Amino acid sequence: MANISKPDVRPANPRFSSGPCAKRPGWTLDALSDAALGRSHRAKVGKSKLQQAIDDTRDLLRVPADYRIGIVPASDTGAVEMAMWSLLGARGTDVLAWESFGAGWVTDAVKQLQLKDVRTFDAPYGEIVDLSQVDFDRDVVFTWNGTTSGVKMPNGDAIPANRQGLTICDATSAAFAQDLPWEKLDVVTFSWQKVMGGEAAHGMLILSPRAVERLESYKPAWPLPKIFRMTKGGKLIEGIFKGETINTPSMLATEDYLDALGWGKRIGGLDALKARADANLAAVEAYVAANDWIGFLAKDAAIRSNTSVCLTFTDPDLVAQSEDAQNAFAKGVASLLEKEGVALDIGAYRDAPAGLRIWCGATVETADIEALMPWIGWAYGEQKAALKKAA
């Protein structure tokens, strides 16, 4: 049964967007007061901040010492496409998709790069592809956590340590919330705006030694724009991985990322960040377990995201309705919650099945998730009552 009256408790912070995500608890604009504004990013002060962002990322994510970490243009998309355009084509490629961002990488490989030897694997929303069918002696492009379906890789077990191909992993909604098995990953990308609640602007591109070897030994058949170029004269441009960005970065966004990383360290590092996301998911799970009209898009808990948590309405009366009607219902629930000021931006992604998506990453407080869930029950009840009246 859904709630009938409005719950007494409201989330202290109604921001549950899947990106840009909520700022860290306690964040104010004062956190940016030390930003190197109006200074050159090539000056000592600017460069040292960019280098600090790289070093702190390495510490917090426990990136191996022999992996390069670069700050690149155009957020996560920039980082993924830079990797795809620079590395693919040397051998066959498998591209995997279980939601719309993964599907975007399929489009890049098939329609834009027009790779000659490419296989694609996709799974419907809520499921993951059969990883046993993937050939890791080919290059493999995939998303660790599908932000629009709430489905994540269960672990890296399917990826052989002695693979011949490179694994190119879009980890933008996984980094800082889920374990990333570095020895299984050759390229890892993410942006600042997700789990750490930073500003969107720059992408992080992390390369294994094998990825660097490919960059230095392989020249793609297509032209590379300047913002994708990581080598010069067949050698890696090492400066990119020491804070010498290809083009001008935002020092304001950089300061904000440094603040977020500092917060992550202060609260206990990666384990604490992961634990916060896990606790948030657990709070949603407890509510879902107690209510039969709502369920997870990812039914299998082993692949259920602890960041972009996607819910569907499972009430048989609703499920029997058309897709449009289900979408309208779910949108109605989200907009009621927004009107009440208890939840902003929790409608499902535009291409995903009807439902809600609640960001549960580390910057979100568990008490806010706990306060939100009964409100969803209330809004659901209101929408159902409106439906009945209209019938």
Ligand X SMILES: Cc1ncc(COP(=O)(O)O)c(C=O)c1O
Binding site for ligand X (CB under 6 A): 19, 75-77, 101, 143, 147, 170, 172-173, 191, 193, 200
**In which order are the strands placed within the sheet that holds 187-191?**
68-72, 203-207, 187-191, 167-170, 139-143, 93-97, 118-122
Minimum distance from CB of 200 to ligand X (Å)?
5
Q: With the C-alpha atoms ordered 109, 111, 115, 116, is the resulting torsion angle positive or negative?
A: positive
Q: Given the complex with ligand X, which of 252 and 328 has the nearer CB atom?
A: 252
Q: Given the complex with ligand X, which of 156 and 198 has the nearer CB atom?
A: 198
Minimum distance from CB of 173 to ligand X (Å)?
5
Minimum distance from CB of 349 to ligand X (Å)?
9
CB atoms within 10 A of CB 1: 8
Cα first-last separation, the chain: 20
Q: Given the complex with ligand X, which of 2 and 129 has the nearer CB atom?
A: 129
Q: Given the complex with ligand X, which of 141 and 372 has the nearer CB atom?
A: 141
Longest dimension (CA), the chain: 71
Classify strands 235-236 and 231-232 as parallel, antiparallel or unpaired.
antiparallel
CB atoms within 10 A of CB 232: 9
Minimum distance from CB of 19 to ligand X (Å)?
4
* Degrees, nearest 5: CA angle 111-113-119: 70
Minimum distance from CB of 7 to ligand X (Å)?
29
For 192, what's the count of Cα atoms within 13 Å in the CB-facing half-sphere?
29
Minimum distance from CB of 101 to ligand X (Å)?
4
Minimum distance from CB of 386 to ligand X (Å)?
31
DSSP 292-346: TTEEESS-SGGGB-SSEEEEEE--HHHHTS-HHHHHHHHHHHHHHHHHTTS-BS-
Q: Given the complex with ligand X, which of 101 and 176 has the nearer CB atom?
A: 101
DSSP 51-72: HHHHHHHHHHHT--TTSEEEEE
* Degrees, nearest 5: CA angle 239-184-94: 95
Minimum distance from CB of 6 to ligand X (Å)?
31
Q: Given the complex with ligand X, which of 249 and 374 has the nearer CB atom?
A: 249
- Angle of helix 323-339 versus helix 366-390 axis, rounded to 10: 120
Q: Given the complex with ligand X, which of 274 and 384 has the nearer CB atom?
A: 274
Partnered with residue 321 across adjacent β-strands are: none
Q: Given the complex with ligand X, which of 200 and 367 has the nearer CB atom?
A: 200
